[in-house]
A and B are shown apart, each in its own frame.
Chain A
Amino acid sequence: MAGADGDDSLYPIAVLIDELRNEDVQLRLNSIKKLSTIALALGVERTRTELLPFLTDTIYDEDEVLLALAEQLGNFTMLVGGPEYVHCLLPPLESLATVEETVVRDKAVESLRKISQEHSPVDLEVHFEPLVKRLASGDWFTSRTSACGLFSVCYPRVSSTVKAEIRQHFRTLCSDDTPMVRRAAASKLGEFAKVLEPEYVKSDIISLFTALASDEQDSVRLLAVEACVSIATLLPQEDLETLVMPTLRQAAEDKSWRVRYMVADKFSELQKAVGSEITKNDLVPAFQNLLKDCEAEVRAAAANKVKEFCENLPEDNREQIIMTHILPCVKELVSDTNQHVKSALASVIMGLSTILGKDNTIEHLLPLFLAQLKDECPEVRLNIISNLDCVNEVIGIRQLSQSLLPAIVELAEDAKWRVRLAIIEYMPLLAGQLGVEFFDEKLNTLCMAWLIDHVYAIREAATCNLMKLVEKFGAEWAQNTIVPKVLGMANDPNYLHRMTTLFCINALSEACGQEITTKQMLPVVLKMSNDQVANVRFNVAKSLQKIGPVLDSNALQTEVKPVLEKLATDSDMDVKYFAQEAISVLALA
């Protein structure tokens, strides 16, 4: 009996094991994802002695299988017998840490970092640390890059002699022949610095940092900028000037635009890391230079940071710094030759108004907003419009409405449908800020015009927009302004427009409530069931299904049911299908 029971439970596991080497990648992947089930069935002993050796050599597989394997092994500690045996997981992860595919390697390193915490201090020195050394001195750069990510997890928990060795290995990798390894070391420098004793940060890390920051390859130098942030946070303020700032200054003026781009991109982090005094003296001029950089990519990255940079300036003379140093550069960027720079600026410039207050905004920023609203590039205008809420809080949107309207109208009629789509998405926001009167007066016609756009995506977005507007302005407003126009389209000669009526009803019925739906919308829908175009008829069935829950049971039984029953006998099979579906969903059978 016991044996027979065993068979039943073994069979699915046997299938899983066999599928580890199935021809079909998907089956192999499924099996690997259930590796814990297999290990559980095999028991800890056989997992260690049979399964793991097999997995160690399974490095020929597809990336996705290897990725799943690397992830699984990170959670395998209990399945091999707990922390005591966790080192058994090292060989398969070691071989995964040398494959060429970066995602797999990174995942293997992530799992190694995870299981390193489960090693006892002794095991860490006996098993884990030798693995790090092996990888660090491997023949191929793939293993050496993987090693870079492992130093910081084992360093804090090993003896001081081993620590010295680890530091030496890291130093070696920082001056490796291949740029790949130097890049990996540069990107882990900050992380490694965090676990080092303060005296070694000064003696070791700073020299490595300086060397990497002046590497001959700009692809390495740019990564040193990132390390700069973490190193700066570790050092006392008085050391920053001598140890970090020369390198940072050099990076901000690097010959390679990619390094300067990186400085611009990390500017807020740098600013926080070096503190307010250095910011005032050094970073403000550096930021000005980045905003005026000759490379558009750098200017765009810096422009993106304008708001954050200004926000984080020391409060005492923030306004003065912005007005005298930053704003002149921003003014120039408004008329930049590159549209990406302008649109990057447009996405943050509105945020400055909260920092500068009402008077300054009206005097200095408003002209810039207005200029950008008239920009030739639609993306710039869209970015301004999408951030209107910041200005609204400070000066009220009325100040802008004169310029806003032409900008919106122009975008609404843009030849590119993606631009039209983008502005539709901001309509509910704009409506909320401009108020119902302004909307009725100026924007309502636009919203209705989108319903008969020749691009389906626009019509669809327009119906969705109507729903959001009704949610904002209420059912009564809908009844007076929107519903009559929508229902009027039911008689349009174009069947696409007639269908739009149905789509609008689908979207609006819930927001408008039972009364409007029953009294005004339902008769129109029912009338359309006689439409000569089958597409309209089956959409009637779909609409009835959709608005059914809003209607009362009386209307359902007396009005909807007969119509659906008639549609269920329609000559078109799609109409029949959707009518029957509606009948069953609404339980009218």
Chain B
Amino acid sequence: MRVPVLHKQLGPSHRQGEVEKRTVSVGSPGRVARTLDCAACLLSGASDAVIIAPRAADTEAPSPPAPPRSISDWLWRRQCGCGAPNASLFTRLPAPEKMKCFSRYLPYLFRPPSTILSSTCHTEADIISTVEFNSTGELLATGDKGGRVVVFQREQESKTQPHRRGEYNVYSTFQSHEPEFDYLKSLEIEEKINKIKWLPQQNAAYFLLSTNDKTVKLWKISERDKRPEGYNLKDEDGRIRDPSTITSLRVPVLQPMDLMVEATARRIFSNAHTYHINSISVNSDLQTFISTDDLRVNLWNLEITDRSFNIVDIKPANMEELTEVITSAEFHPQQCHTFAYSSSKGSIRLCDMRLAALCDKHCKYFEEPEDPATRSFFSEIISSISDVKFSHNGRYLMTRDYLTVKVWDLQMENKPVETYQVHDYLRGKLCSLYENDCIFDKFECVWNGSDSVIMTGSYNNFFRMFDRNTKRDVTLEASRENSKPRAILKPRKVCVGGKRRKDEISVDSLDFSKKILHTTWHPYENIIAVAATNNLYIFQDKVN
């Protein structure tokens, strides 16, 4: 197969071939200190300076758009800042106490199993940028803006402390990506981890893919509990033995040692993306994965790093004609030939890789006709899809735009089967949200294990859950003050104008800097992980 080969165009990449190996012993909640190339930061400066805020009417590129940092810059303003280098530690909260409350809203009563993982003083680099459970739920990975990946492992049930089952502790921490500077294009490559995806387990080790804007890496996380001992030429304490005293050969013997968890970069998939990678997705054939940037989708074989196939390319010949960008893409959970990608115009395209090698033509196109009554200056911005997810059973697609979550049946293209309002009370505040750039926030959405509940984030550290069967919904808050360990989360309510009842919070007092963009749900239990800026909250269904 030769058609759409993307050859490596650059010379040896900066870190190509370099084996990155970080080790951390289990139990020590340490984070790897990072260094940040401040020169690179200064060079790029604050990216806002050169980018003109678009008007909804002419979202096409303002000219001259040089040099393109990212296509999305042309359509949307991006917030960008540089954090000062800092090393910080996770702090564990004190031991849990028992408390009971009731929730009237959902069959699931969430409470934190004492696990709020956060850094005491946070910098930009500590902001969590992605969070993902593995396929068994035993491991949970987070990536942050500092390029670090932290993997948590669920405690095994023990007889002495049965209630500790469900707590997640740090298993491995490693620096996945480092800041780089592309000297040929004169642009800074942030180390921020955009997405983490776990591979299904294939042997005793665990594998995950992590990506920043340009480079995808395959990491192996493995345990080692034996160490060889015994040398011929030196004693155990390292002293060199006199060669003349060697009268017999010693074969090293393996001795048990403290468990060590190693993270090793097994493969580096680089030099295939001109624009910023926004998502990666592993195929159910366990052989390939896709990486998606603003204009293209590339297909990789997990074992081949020097070649990838470009399967979708929406780049127009003339960049002035650019009207939409790809915002996210995902493989179907069972059908290895189907994948979906969402666009900034609020549509989703379903592609079948069986039909042709190049999937520029979609086989299904999901779009809801716009209601002329609600059309406004912001319509196009708020209809942009920030996340697309197949349901576990593969029958539905869920998309998140700025104000809603929509569920689409793969058999019905003209409108979603369900639409949930996430924070409709913000509809009146779009103007100020545009002013402070919040309108460009990219919220993600997740299914629970049985596809019956949907979760997605909002502002003020609120996150929302929608029960698809009972049509009930709840707003919960991830905050240290409100969620004492073992307490049951209290539903929150936002009121619009008028009288404010007790326990309600007014729209005007919402804190828009506290946003929950990234959440994940355990593959079959009711355990959720919610990333709120630099804090990771893990809530668990009530254990009786």
A residues lining the B interface (CB < 8 Å): 3-4, 6-7, 10-11, 13-15, 17-18, 20-21, 41-42, 46, 50-51, 53-54, 57, 60, 98-100, 102, 140-143, 178-180, 183, 216-219, 254-258, 261, 294-297, 300, 340
| Contacting pair A297 B3 (CB below 8 A) | yes
| Contacting pair A219 B287 (CB below 8 A) | yes
- With contacts A14-B232, A15-B233 taken as known, whether A218 is within 8 angstroms of B354 at the C-beta atoms is yes
Question: Does B355 touch A at the CB level, under 8 Å?
Answer: yes
Residue of A with least CB distance to B200: A178
Residues of A within 8 A of B226 (CB): 57
Whole-angstrom CA separation of A255 from B363 in the bound complex: 13
- Provide 9 A-B residue pairs closer than 8 Å at the C-beta atoms, listed in order of the A residue: A7-B244, A10-B249, A21-B252, A51-B251, A57-B226, A179-B286, A218-B337, A218-B354, A294-B356
| Contacting pair B337 A256 (CB below 8 A) | yes
Interface of A, secondary structure class, is helix
Whole-angstrom CA separation of A258 from B204 in the bound complex: 32
Contact of A140 among B204, B228, B284 (CB under 8 A): B204
Whole-angstrom CA separation of A217 from B285 in the bound complex: 7
| Contacting pair A10 B247 (CB below 8 A) | yes
A212 shortest CB reach to chain B, Å: 14
Which size class do B's interface residues fall under?
A: 35 or more
Residue of A with least CB distance to B204: A140
| Contacting pair B249 A17 (CB below 8 A) | yes
Contact of A42 among B251, B266, B285, B353 (CB under 8 A): B251
Question: Does B243 touch A at the CB level, under 8 Å?
Answer: yes
Residues of A within 8 A of B374 (CB): none
Residues of B within 8 A of A256 (CB): 337, 353-354
Question: Does B1 touch A at the CB level, under 8 Å?
Answer: yes
| Contacting pair B3 A340 (CB below 8 A) | yes
Whole-angstrom CA separation of A256 from B356 in the bound complex: 8
A144 shortest CB reach to chain B, Å: 10
| Contacting pair B357 A296 (CB below 8 A) | yes
Residues of B within 8 A of A98 (CB): 203
B379 shortest CB reach to chain A, Å: 38
Question: Does B2 touch A at the CB level, under 8 Å?
Answer: yes
Whole-angstrom CA separation of A406 from B3 in the bound complex: 29
| Contacting pair A17 B251 (CB below 8 A) | yes
| Contacting pair A11 B202 (CB below 8 A) | no
Question: Does B76 touch A at the CB level, under 8 Å?
Answer: no
Whole-angstrom CA separation of A54 from B252 in the bound complex: 7
- With contacts A18-B233, A217-B284, A257-B356 taken as known, whether A142 is within 8 angstroms of B247 at the C-beta atoms is no
Whole-angstrom CA separation of A116 from B3 in the bound complex: 42
Residues of B within 8 A of A7 (CB): 243-244, 246-247
| CB proximity to A under 8 Å, residues B261-299 | 266, 284-287
Whole-angstrom CA separation of A178 from B201 in the bound complex: 11
Residue of B with least CB distance to A6: B247
A504 shortest CB reach to chain B, Å: 32
Question: Does B222 touch A at the CB level, under 8 Å?
Answer: yes
Apart from A7-B243, A14-B232, A180-B287: 20 A-B pairs, beta carbons within 8 A: A10-B249, A11-B246, A15-B233, A18-B231, A41-B249, A46-B249, A46-B251, A54-B228, A54-B252, A54-B254, A60-B224, A100-B207, A102-B303, A179-B286, A179-B287, A180-B202, A219-B336, A257-B354, A257-B357, A294-B356
Question: Does B92 touch A at the CB level, under 8 Å?
Answer: no
B295 shortest CB reach to chain A, Å: 22
Residues of A within 8 A of B222 (CB): 60
Residues of A within 8 A of B205 (CB): 100
| Contacting pair B335 A216 (CB below 8 A) | yes
A195 shortest CB reach to chain B, Å: 28
| Contacting pair A100 B244 (CB below 8 A) | no
Question: Does B429 touch A at the CB level, under 8 Å?
Answer: no
Whole-angstrom CA separation of A21 from B253 in the bound complex: 11
Interface of B, secondary structure class, is loop
B residues lining the A interface (CB < 8 Å): 1-3, 200-205, 207, 220, 222, 224, 226, 228, 231-234, 243-244, 246-254, 266, 284-287, 303, 334-337, 353-357
Residue of B with least CB distance to A42: B249
Whole-angstrom CA separation of A13 from B246 in the bound complex: 11
B196 shortest CB reach to chain A, Å: 18
Residue of B with least CB distance to A15: B233
| Contacting pair B252 A100 (CB below 8 A) | no
Contact of B336 among A13, A21, A218, A340 (CB under 8 A): A218
Residue of A with least CB distance to B335: A216
B79 shortest CB reach to chain A, Å: 39
Whole-angstrom CA separation of A325 from B252 in the bound complex: 70
A375 shortest CB reach to chain B, Å: 18
| Contacting pair B202 A140 (CB below 8 A) | yes
Residue of B with least CB distance to A52: B251
A142 shortest CB reach to chain B, Å: 5
Whole-angstrom CA separation of A54 from B3 in the bound complex: 48
| Contacting pair B357 A297 (CB below 8 A) | yes
B523 shortest CB reach to chain A, Å: 15
A66 shortest CB reach to chain B, Å: 13
B201 shortest CB reach to chain A, Å: 7
| Contacting pair A295 B233 (CB below 8 A) | no
Whole-angstrom CA separation of A11 from B242 in the bound complex: 11
| Contacting pair B203 A142 (CB below 8 A) | yes
Contact of B253 among A14, A54, A216, A261 (CB under 8 A): A54
Contact of B249 among A13, A54, A102, A140 (CB under 8 A): A13
B301 shortest CB reach to chain A, Å: 11
B339 shortest CB reach to chain A, Å: 14
Whole-angstrom CA separation of A102 from B287 in the bound complex: 11
Whole-angstrom CA separation of A3 from B355 in the bound complex: 75
Residue of A with least CB distance to B287: A219
| Contacting pair B356 A3 (CB below 8 A) | no
Residues of A within 8 A of B244 (CB): 4, 7
Residues of A within 8 A of B234 (CB): 18
Whole-angstrom CA separation of A141 from B2 in the bound complex: 30
| Contacting pair B202 A141 (CB below 8 A) | yes
Whole-angstrom CA separation of A353 from B226 in the bound complex: 67
Contact of B286 among A143, A180, A295 (CB under 8 A): A180
Residues of B within 8 A of A296 (CB): 3, 357
Whole-angstrom CA separation of A13 from B250 in the bound complex: 10
B254 shortest CB reach to chain A, Å: 5
B359 shortest CB reach to chain A, Å: 11
| Contacting pair B285 A142 (CB below 8 A) | no
| Contacting pair A295 B254 (CB below 8 A) | no
Residues of B within 8 A of A41 (CB): 249
Whole-angstrom CA separation of A20 from B230 in the bound complex: 12
- With contacts A216-B335, A296-B3, A297-B3 taken as known, whether A17 is within 8 angstroms of B250 at the C-beta atoms is yes
| Contacting pair A17 B252 (CB below 8 A) | yes
Whole-angstrom CA separation of A141 from B253 in the bound complex: 30
| Contacting pair B336 A217 (CB below 8 A) | yes
Whole-angstrom CA separation of A57 from B229 in the bound complex: 13
Residues of A within 8 A of B266 (CB): 100
Residues of A within 8 A of B253 (CB): 50, 54
- With contacts A142-B202, A178-B286, A258-B354 taken as known, whether A10 is within 8 angstroms of B228 at the C-beta atoms is no
Whole-angstrom CA separation of A185 from B254 in the bound complex: 35
Residue of B with least CB distance to A182: B285
Whole-angstrom CA separation of A216 from B357 in the bound complex: 19
A137 shortest CB reach to chain B, Å: 15
Whole-angstrom CA separation of A293 from B522 in the bound complex: 45
Whole-angstrom CA separation of A254 from B334 in the bound complex: 19
Residues of B within 8 A of A17 (CB): 232, 249-252
B270 shortest CB reach to chain A, Å: 19
Whole-angstrom CA separation of A132 from B64 in the bound complex: 65
B222, B233, B234 — most chain A CB neighbours (10 Å): B233
| Contacting pair A14 B356 (CB below 8 A) | no
- With contacts A54-B254, A216-B335 taken as known, whether A100 is within 8 angstroms of B354 at the C-beta atoms is no
Whole-angstrom CA separation of A340 from B1 in the bound complex: 10
Residues of A within 8 A of B303 (CB): 102
Residues of A within 8 A of B252 (CB): 17, 20-21, 54
Whole-angstrom CA separation of A219 from B355 in the bound complex: 14
| Contacting pair A140 B286 (CB below 8 A) | no
A223 shortest CB reach to chain B, Å: 11
A141 shortest CB reach to chain B, Å: 6
